[in-house]
Structure 1
């Protein structure tokens, strides 16, 4: 069943609790609170341990030599499909990855980099003639208030890339991967599909769609890691041992994806 607004908000709140940066902040807050009280040998030891732990966690999670093999282990789950001109599917389904909203500086709402990259991959497959229909799925993921719908902006991007609007279908209600699958099923039924999403997202998305009755061929795109995890150490750069904000982002994505797989499995959605 789809999440109610309350449980969707709770889901988003709990998700923030999985972020490595959240744990770093919590450790530092705990150390700060202890430091406000008169010191004793025990309290001083706890402060030192909390500060050291937060520093170790931050350096580890923001190091490229940790982040890239970690997210690469998810991205290597499914390889790009080896398609031939005779292969044909009922639809190409592209999962939304978010939206950049209109503001005082940005003149219009537009798909974020994840949604743009995924849509571009889907358009490329459509233009090669693998399916007559391009399905774009993604709704308003705001917890408070309302915002633009991801699928609507993805359709605009697909049309700009040359796809006829008549060849597209959109699901503007989905807020997570499970709702992507159920919303797509309402649109086209349990069809034969090419499923397009970021490579790190497909280990969760493919079994979710399969359980809804789709015949799924994964089409990963938007790769982060350059090489397979077992090859990550072949070309080590000394700078990879230094903290990097992009590496922290990729570690966060990997952690939340693994957690999402576990939660979906426990909920019986895989």
Structure 2
């Protein structure tokens, strides 16, 4: 009964219920233009498929398996813990931590864990934002609220993307022991961009999706959160191709 309840609840979420209604509407569409009719079904079925944990597991899990959480026992010394930006929603009435995206909070939490493990390291929080409200500022304020001294925090508020983060931080980080904190899906591109600036980094990935462990009753049900994960993966894939294209045109780019 519990699993039945969960299946029904999952099917009533906005994405699956919308796709089911679209499929129902297609049943009543006059099949005058068979090509459009079949294309409509193909799009509905495709969107449903790529939004399932089953598909996300096939797409994302292989790249996640190449990464492991940062092990403090394997590294005796770290100079800098660099936390890359990941979105901010300006709202002056809210404390800093509530203005950060879930992605940013996940990254910052890992950064603070490492900072406690390496008390002599400095924390670098990065990322631009919306006007005067930057991701780096909100992460810095959150870190202070959680007990980190202000003099241990360095902000990098001008970086609008990872390429700029690497470029702006390179001078400080070259020849240092650097733990790079970002999402698992983003790690390969981020390390590539920092390496291009002469900065070697140690991967400290967060936000593992782990869809291989999804309950069986959910594996074939479309989910907006899964679609968001697949979208993020595709975004990274396009980002890597863009970097390759830029470097093909200009070997000194990025």
For residue 67 of structure 1, report the CA deviation from its aligned partner: 1.7
Does residue 107 of structure 1 match 2:111? no
Name the structure 1 match of 2:231: 252
Q: Which residue of 2 aligns with 1:194?
A: 179
The answer to whether the 8 A contact 2:81-2:123 is kept is yes
TM alignment of 1:97-246, pairs within 5 A: 97-102=86-91, 107=94, 110-129=99-118, 131-140=120-129, 146=131, 148-189=133-174, 191-225=176-210, 232=212, 237-246=216-225
User: SS of the residue aligned with 2:155?
Assistant: strand
Residues 87 and 265 of structure 1: CA distance in aligned 2, closer, same or farther (over 3 Å): farther
Structure 1: give runs of 5+ residues left out of the alignment: 1-20, 22-27, 29-34, 227-231
Write the mapping of 1:71-110 to structure 2, written as runs, cut at 5 A.
71-84=60-73, 87-102=76-91, 107=94, 110=99
- State the SS of the aligned residue for 2:167: helix
262 and 130 in structure 1: CA distance in 2 versus 1, 3 angstrom threshold: farther
Counterpart-to-counterpart distance in 2, 1:135 and 1:196:
10
Cα deviation, residue 189, structure 1: 4.4
Q: Contact 1:69 / 1:225 at 8 angstroms: preserved in 2?
A: no
Instruction: Tell me the TM-score normalised to structure 1 length.
Output: 0.73
Higher relative helix content: 2
- How many equivalent pairs are there? 224
Q: Distance in 2 between matches of 1:86 and 1:258?
A: 30
Q: For 1:9-28, what aligned pairs fall within 5 Å after superposition? A: none
**CA RMSD for the aligned pairs?**
3.0
TM-score (norm 2): 0.77
- Measure the CA separation in 2 of the matches of 1:202 and 1:265: 16
